[in-house]
Amino acid sequence: MAKNKQKQDSLPCSTSQISFNFIDMGPFLRNRKEIRRWIILCINKENKTPGEITFNFCSDKRLLKMNKNYLKHDFYTDIITFDFSENNLISGDIYISKERVKENAAELNDAFHVELKRVMVHGVLHLCGYKDKTRAEKEKMRKKEDECLSLLR
């Protein structure tokens, strides 16, 4: 952590802790308390218990390196999720490329903050056991993302 200055913000929520790290960039996430409550609500709706979840926001370059090193994929991605969940206790590290999210939002003609929340909950849904390899899984994941996003509105 000394080499890459990280700014961390976390708030314990009973047995859970959801934290946000900003790696190689300044903090940009607003309404963190509301986002924590929303993430917990999404997990609870899946009949799971929130544990320790860390959102790590980083550059394309860093996430590409991780994608190559850990997943043996040589392409950019918006998110990588490391699942440490046990039984129904949902825990993990979620890495998100701010640059990818920004680009995706522009391509989808959507607001950055909306796409960012979609990607965040996408990672949480992976921790809850949802997959997105097949067409059917992707459709189910998208439906769950939409359900979670509707909880914010």
Q: Quick check: is 47 in a domain?
A: yes
CATH of the domain at 49: 3.40.390.30
**pLDDT computed for residue 14 by the predictor:** 47
Q: Is residue 1 part of a domain?
A: no
pLDDT of res. 9: 42
Rounded mean pLDDT for each run of 10 residues along the chain, 153 residues in total: 40 68 93 95 97 97 96 94 96 97 96 96 98 97 97 82
Q: Within a domain: residue 29?
A: yes
pLDDT at 15: 53
Q: Is residue 55 part of a domain?
A: yes
Residues 31, 37: Cα–Cα separation, whole Å = 10
Within a domain: 128: yes
Its domain, for residue 100, covers 6-150
Task: Indicate whether 87 belongs to any domain.
Answer: yes
Cβ atoms of 91 and 129 closer than 8 Å: no
Provide the domain count of the chain. Answer: 1
Q: Does 126 reside within a domain?
A: yes
